[in-house]
Amino acid sequence: MRVEPDRFRSVLRHVPTSVTIVAGLAPEGPRGLSVGSFVPVSLEPALVGFFVARTSTSWPEIEASGGFCVSVLGEDQAWLSAHFAVPSPDKFDGVAWHAARSGRPVIDGAVAWVDCQIAAVHPAGDHLLVLGTVNDLGVGTGRPPLLHHRGGYRRAHDLDSAAEDAADGGGGPRPAEPDVASREPVSDARPPAGQQRPPGGQPP
């Protein structure tokens, strides 16, 4: 049975994901993109992975640099996800980051980060499966992570009400959903200058 892309999307949008920025240091400067497919893969050796679309404009430059650093976004960082999901060579302009020991960018205020050498890149349909050998990693703020679920940004405590909304389990048409399921919306609007978490990103 061939699965239509719309059916694929309408079912798999019910799988919540983390939201990360995968970044690398190209000769021209830092490059990065939003990635929801990040996953820990192996303990021995320590491997992580993610899937990147073949159409990504940042990935070829990151790949050529030999490694990548994954920053796991916190629930107050939805604007960074939206920002890094638009192709542009200037995405790091105005974004606070610091260098891992490798020099690769860690987004300030990230919940956690994982710095990797590229171990393998495998074809996976219209995506590539990228595996990375973990060289270094750490907890940043350790705060609750940002989630992506049913087409919107969520906090972990929002998922219960999102699941209640979706309880019919059918694949039929449903009314337009708000971007966020419950009480306190997670906005992807960029905060005013000066309200970004300071370098180091420690909770107050």
Number of residues that bind ligand FMN (CB under 6 A): 20
* Bond into 45 cis (ω within 30): yes
Q: Is 68 in the site for ligand FMN (CB under 6 A)?
A: no
> x/- string (CB under 6 A) for ligand FMN, residues 83-102?
-xxxx---------------
Of 77, 92, 45, 46, nearest in space to 146 by CA: 77
Looking at beta carbons only, is 59 or 92 nearer to ligand FMN?
A: 59
152-154, strands of its sheet edge to edge: 17-18, 147-149, 152-154
Contact by Cβ (8 Å): 161, 150: no
Looking at beta carbons only, is 64 or 203 nearer to ligand FMN?
A: 64
Name the one range near ligand FMN by CB under 6 A: 81-89, 102-110, 136-144, 162-170.
81-89
Of 125, 133, 146, nearest in space to 81 by CA: 146
Q: Is 143 in the site for ligand FMN (CB under 6 A)?
A: no
Q: Which residues bind ligand FMN (CB under 6 A)?
A: 19, 33-37, 50-53, 56-59, 81, 84-87, 148
